[in-house]
Each structure stands twice: as structure tokens, then as C-alpha cells.
């Protein structure tokens, strides 16, 4: 076995690979950006080297710098994790040319499967079914529009070099094609450095089922069963599970055979995932699925396969790269129970799933039977705008699907995150959705049920506000009592007594607080009634004090409650008008601005696009009016809440 490994990645996957490497007796070498200098994967490693500034293109994507470190540190192999350089054939070749083993497939397999159009042509020759579409080289917009018209709507526009749900757009009608194509090409160029796309027929009620394959350098290729990844939003996976609900033995054998044939067609070595799409409206059938793509790397969702098979896939990667034969045959493998993984993200489902950044003031995960947590952050760390906002993968394993789902929901509801907003409550609601529980899955389930899943704008929870306000009031009372006690030796005077005395008729009957920056007034009588009469829903709140504020958390939902400035009299001022301000919803780059000074716009009209974490987010006009005060040009970096422009409402003379 290798004696040392350099991990060319960061975060959760770098830490996960490092743990297996350490167990196998390897010296672990980490590379990191300036932003990650104190990250858990860095502190866990035996050695760590800074390779550049925070942006990935200046650090984790600089192959020459990583190779230089590998040579300097004497690394025997490089594990690329997933993302970044993991599917870059030039990097794999450079690693091997430097006399270092690459823990992954040969560059030839990456090239064969790395471009979706070429991959489809290749697997067709191996008798693997593919989705109807255009996979050619002509990238003329009018030609692509014609191909979409020929295929028939709805269609999918997909980046040729895409992955991870980026560079993908569903188009329902011909008139929407041009705009979707331009957006897809921009995102593809930004994420992959390649704007080329292909067009595919959109499968009705699609099920996304993928098969984990594994190959060695001795010509053996087997599969480790399937995973269902149909729970997606904007083509990003949300919940993954293994095995796939509704999969019988005959259909499993057909999926597995097709995946293995695809792997053999490219001489595959190591861990890979062959992704298929099936028509969910007809159930999973041996003749009802199509090849989509192959990921020539480890997948984010690999833990569910590890749970049901009992194998450490990262260990198998190392052994395959070292030249060992696979330790098992297909006949040796069996499925043990059911496993489900939820991706816990720093994002706000109530605001269109916008990424949320900031310090993790509290981070606590539950422990228990069948629960596994894969995370790359710790309490006191931060979620930054530079990388994927995943906080953790929460994985549950049980004897049955229902047991695994019950364990996963309980784990999510007992997870505490204070600081960035998260999708915890949304995930718990999805697990309890009737169709999901019944195994009636397709990739559109989430989008059809956003309101039922709580992924729409909601008023702040009154009980949570009251809990926070009362806690702040109690804290203030304790402070005043301490001040009064300290002054007790002074001459008696009414102003040193913390009893609410005021030179006015009656005491103030309310508590003023800021809830997520918005002003709220809690009437004391109502607060006391809520607290004593209903017990604040049993008092099931977690309170975390940080940043001169209080984070109130209940089963994944979070409210930040703070005291207002005592000199701020605007709680009674309703004359200010901020309704026309257009602000950046997050830290990001202003990639497009669609209006000029003086332009007239309608409410809901798209005025700009902000890109964050390689995803585009449209910015809409909050009302009809005239554009004034454009503060930035396209290309500018924006902070969260930065004013982009103002929409001035027309006033009748």
C-alpha cells in the first residue's frame, strides 16, 4: 500500500479521504487556500501547504502548484476527491508523468466519458440505451433551436462538460429557448471553462438512478448496486438513497449490466458512477431507462453505498490505484438494509434557496444507531462565498427504508446550526412528504411541492420571536439588577432601582426587537400569555448568543433576534420608503445588468443576475417604476445586501 497521499481537494471530502488514508497507515498531505488555513481537513493532516488565495481558480484548480507540492512533500499518490481536478485528464496525466500514482481512472477513460456527447456515442456502441437528442458539435444558436424544435418540447439544454447540476436548463416552449441557452452557456463557461452544450428530450416524470461501478487494473469491473437520486432541485441532488425504491431483481440486473458494460468500454479503473434516467410514471423496468452520463470519480453520495454493502469505497480506490485486484466478485455482494443521505446546506429555502454565509456560532450533530455525519466544518468556522455551501452530509442506515427515514428525520431535527441559515427544516419536511415516503419519486417532486415543504416566503414564527424577546428582556433585567446592586452603597435614589419605575403613567408594555434586521414590537401581555398559556410550544427552543444577538432555533428553523439601537426612534416611523431598493441577495458577482438609468420596468421584471458559488440567481424589480441610482457595473463583486439600484415609483401629480 502507498505510504503517503496528497489530497488535492478541500472540505468534507478531503477530511473523509484523509481518515481512510490514516487508517491504512499513510502520511496525509493537505493543500489549502488562504481561506482554508484553519479548516478541519488541514489540521487533521500530517502536513499542509498553502497553494493560493481563496478563489478556487487561484488555488485548488492550479494543477502545477499542486504537483509542485506533491513532489516537495514526497507524495506517492494523489487523491483528487470530487469536483475541482478530479475529472481533469490533463491533471491525471501530469501526475502519472511526475512518477506519482493518480487515485482515479486513466485519463483515457476521463476523456471518453468527460464530454456528454462523446460518452453517449461510445455507450451506444456498447448497446447501452441513450436519451434521444442532439449530441453533435454545431453550437450555432439558431441550429440548436432547430434541433430542440425537432426533438419536441420540453427539452434539456446541458453543458457538454457539465456536472453537479450546473450548466443545465429545462425549456418548456420554443420562445424560452434563446434565453435559456445563453444562460446555460454562461454558467457552463464559468463552471467548466467550456460553453458547449447538447440538447436532450426531457423525460416525463424522470427518475434519476445511478449505479456505482468499480474496476481494477486486471480487467475486472463490477457494480455495487444502485442509488436513487431523484430528489433534486434545479438539477442539484438533495436526498440520495440506496437501494432505489421499487427496484426489483430483474431490473437491478439490467441496470447493473448496462453500467458494467459502459465501464468496460473505456477500460475503467477505480470508482465510477454511471447515471441513468427512467420514466417514473411507468415504474422502474428493465427496458425503461437511458444512459445520461458517467462520473469518473467518487460521488458525494457514496456513503449510502458504503452503508448497504459494508465496503469503504475510498479504501478500494487506493487499493485499485496500487494495482491490487478487487477483493470481491459480483456474486459476493449483497444489499444490507437501506441508507439515506441528506445534504445539509447553508441556504435559505424560504428565499429561493439562496446561499447563506457567515460564522458557525453553534454546530452540533446528534449521535445514535445508524447515524453517520460527514462534515468538513466545525463550530467557530465559517461558510464562505468561495466554495460549495454544504455544511454536512447526514446519513442514516436502517433495516428498512422507513427505519432509515425515521432515523434521518430525527437526526436532522436534533441538529443545531446557528449563524448561516440552513435547509434543515426543508429536508425534514421532504422526508415526511407522502409521495416521498411512498416511494413515488421523480425529479420534479420538490418543485411541485415547494409550498408544502416550506420553501416559500413565510412570516417569522411568533413563538420564536417571543422566546427570543423574553430571553433578551431577562438578560437586560439581570444586567440592570447587577448595576443596581453595584450602586446599592450609593445614596438612595429612585433611578438606581431596577423595578421598571418611570416618571410616566404606567410601565412600558412592550419589548422592541430586531428580527432578521426587521423591526418587531412584542406586546408584553401577549408574550406572557404565549409563554405561560401555551408553554412556547413546550419550550423546544435552542438559544445561542453571538454577535450581540440571540439565535433562536427550533427543529432546523432559525431566527436572529437582537436589541435595537436605544437611540433609534424609527419603531414608530413608517414614513421611510425602502420598497424600491434592489439589493444583492448574497455575496457574489454581478454577471449581468439588464437596465439603464431612466428605464421603465414592471414589477417582477428581471433587472440583473448575481452569480454565487457558480450558480446564477436572477434579481427582480420589486415594483413598477423608473430605474435610478445604478451603483455597480456588470462584473462587480457585491456584498450581501449591497444596493444595486433603485426603482422609483411613479407618483400621481
CA 597 from centroid of its chain's CA atoms: 36
pLDDT tens sequence across 170-192: 999 999 999 999 999 999 988 88
Q: For residues 595 and 625, is the Cβ–Cβ distance under 8 A? A: no
CA distances, 308 to each of 213, 334, 366, 643 (Å): 15, 8, 21, 50
Under 8 Å between Cβ of 199 and 157: yes
∠ CA 623-591-59, nearest 5°, is 140
Separation of alpha carbons 76 and 78, rounded Å: 7
Helix (H) or strand (E) holding 118: helix 116-125
DSSP bridge partners of 109? none
- Listed as ranges, residues in the chain with pLDDT below 70 are 164, 488-509, 524-539, 566-579, 613-615, 651-653
| Active-site option among 297, 372, 425, 557 | 297
User: How many CB atoms within 10 Å of residue 218?
Assistant: 11
DSSP state of 138: -
Q: What is the pLDDT of residue 611?
A: 82
Expressed in angstroms, the distance from the first to the final Cα of the chain is 82
**What pLDDT is recorded for position 363?**
97
Cα–Cα distance list, 97 to 3, 8, 75, 94, 320 (Å): 19, 17, 14, 5, 19
Q: Coil, strand or helix: which one is 98?
A: coil
Number of other CB atoms surrounding residue 186 within 10 Å: 17
How many whole angstroms separate alpha carbon 344 and alpha carbon 239? 10
User: Smallest Cα–Cα separation from 555: which of 409, 457, 413?
Assistant: 413
CA-CA distance, 251 to 228, in Å (whole number)? 14
Q: Specify whether 563 is catalytic.
A: no
CA 507 – CA 178 distance, rounded (Å): 64
Give buried/exposed letters for 568-577 (b at 16+ CB in 10 A, else e). Answer: eeeeeeeeee
Three-state SS for 63?
helix
* C-beta separation of 625 from 649 below 8 A: yes
Q: Are 50 and 32 in contact (CB under 8 A)?
A: yes
Amino acid at each position: 500500500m502507498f505510504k503517503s497521499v496528497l489530497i488535492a481537494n478541500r472540505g468534507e471530502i478531503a477530511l473523509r479521504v484523509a481518515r481512510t488514508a490514516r487508517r491504512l497507515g499513510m502520511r496525509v498531505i493537505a493543500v489549502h487556500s488562504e481561506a482554508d488555513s484553519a479548516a478541519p481537513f488541514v489540521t487533521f493532516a500530517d502536513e499542509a501547504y498553502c497553494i493560493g488565495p481563496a478563489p478556487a481558480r487561484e488555488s485548488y484548480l492550479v494543477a502545477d502548484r499542486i504537483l509542485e507540492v506533491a513532489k516537495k512533500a514526497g507524495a506517492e499518490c494523489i487523491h483528487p476527491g470530487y469536483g475541482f481536478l478530479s475529472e481533469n485528464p490533463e491533471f491525471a496525466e501530469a501526475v502519472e508523468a511526475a512518477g506519482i500514482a493518480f487515485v482515479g481512472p486513466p485519463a483515457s477513460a476521463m476523456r471518453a466519458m468527460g464530454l456528454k456527447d462523446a460518452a453517449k456515442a461510445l455507450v451506444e456502441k456498447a448497446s447501452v440505451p441513450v436519451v434521444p437528442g442532439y449530441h453533435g458539435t454545431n453550437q450555432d444558436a439558431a441550429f440548436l433551436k432547430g434541433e430542440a424544435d425537432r426533438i419536441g418540447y420540453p427539452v434539456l439544454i446541458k453543458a457538454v462538460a457539465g456536472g453537479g447540476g450546473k450548466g443545465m436548463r429545462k425549456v418548456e416552449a420554443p420562445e424560452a429557448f434563446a434565453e435559456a441557452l445563453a444562460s446555460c452557456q454562461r454558467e457552463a463557461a464559468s463552471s467548466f471553462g467550456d460553453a458547449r452544450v447538447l440538447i436532450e428530450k426531457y423525460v416525463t416524470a424522470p427518475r434519476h438512478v445511478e449505479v456505482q461501478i468499480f474496476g481494477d487494473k486486471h480487467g475486472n469491473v463490477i457494480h455495487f448496486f444502485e442509488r436513487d437520486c431523484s430528489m433534486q432541485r434545479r438539477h442539484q441532488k438533495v436526498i440520495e438513497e440506496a437501494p432505489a425504491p421499487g427496484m426489483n431483481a430483474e431490473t437491478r440486473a439490467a441496470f447493473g449490466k448496462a453500467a458494467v458494460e459502459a465501464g468496460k468500454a473505456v477500460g475503467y479503473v477505480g470508482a465510477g458512477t454511471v447515471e441513468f434516467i427512467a420514466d417514473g410514471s411507468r415504474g422502474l423496468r428493465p427496458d425503461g431507462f437511458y444512459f445520461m452520463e458517467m462520473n469518473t470519480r467518487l460521488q458525494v453520495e457514496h456513503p449510502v453505498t458504503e452503508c448497504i454493502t459494508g465496503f469503504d469505497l475510498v479504501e478500494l480506490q487506493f487499493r485499485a490505484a496500487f494495482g491490487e485486484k478487487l477483493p470481491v466478485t459480483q456474486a459476493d455482494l449483497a444489499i444490507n438494509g437501506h441508507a439515506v443521505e441528506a445534504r445539509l446546506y447553508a441556504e435559505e429555502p424560504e428565499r429561493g434557496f439562496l446561499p447563506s454565509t457567515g460564522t458557525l456560532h453553534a454546530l452540533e450533530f446528534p449521535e445514535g444507531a445508524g447515524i453517520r455525519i460527514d462534515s468538513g466544518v466545525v463550530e467557530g468556522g465559517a461558510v464562505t462565498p468561495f466554495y460549495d455551501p454544504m455544511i454536512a452530509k447526514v446519513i442514516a442506515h436502517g433495516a428498512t427504508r422507513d427505519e432509515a427515514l425515521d432515523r434521518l428525520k430525527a437526526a436532522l431535527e436534533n441538529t443545531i446550526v446557528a449563524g448561516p441559515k440552513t435547509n434543515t427544516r426543508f429536508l425534514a419536511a421532504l422526508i415526511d412528504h407522502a409521495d416521498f415516503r411512498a416511494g413515488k419519486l421523480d425529479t420534479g417532486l420538490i418543485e411541485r411541492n415547494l409550498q408544502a415543504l416550506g420553501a416559500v416566503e413565510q412570516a417569522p414564527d411568533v413563538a420564536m420571536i417571543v422566546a427570543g424577546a423574553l430571553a433578551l428582556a431577562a438578560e437586560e433585567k439581570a444586567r440592570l439588577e447587577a448595576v443596581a446592586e453595584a450602586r446599592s452603597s450609593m445614596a438612595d435614589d429612585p433611578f438606581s432601582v431596577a423595578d421598571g419605575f418611570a416618571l410616566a403613567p404606567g410601565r412600558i408594555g412592550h419589548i422592541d426587537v430586531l428580527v432578521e434586521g426587521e423591526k418587531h414590537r412584542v406586546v408584553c401581555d401577549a408574550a406572557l400569555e404565549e409563554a405561560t398559556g401555551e408553554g412556547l410550544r413546550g419550550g423546544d427552543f435552542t438559544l445561542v448568543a453571538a454577535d450581540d444577538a440571540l439565535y433562536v432555533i427550533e427543529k432546523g428553523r432559525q431566527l436572529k433576534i437582537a436589541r435595537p439601537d436605544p437611540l433609534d426612534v424609527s419603531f414608530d416611523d413608517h414614513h421611510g420608503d425602502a420598497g424600491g431598493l434592489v439589493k444583492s441577495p448574497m455575496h457574489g458577482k454581478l454577471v449581468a445588468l439588464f437596465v439603464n438609468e431612466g428605464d421603465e420596468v414592471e414589477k417582477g421584471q428581471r433587472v440583473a443576475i448575481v452569480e454565487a458559488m457558480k450558480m446564477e440567481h436572477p434579481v427582480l424589480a420589486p415594483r413598477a417604476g423608473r430605474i435610478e441610482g445604478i451603483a455597480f457595473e456588470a462584473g462587480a463583486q457585491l456584498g450581501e445586501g449591497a444596493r444595486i439600484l433603485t426603482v422609483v415609483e411613479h407618483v400621481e401629480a
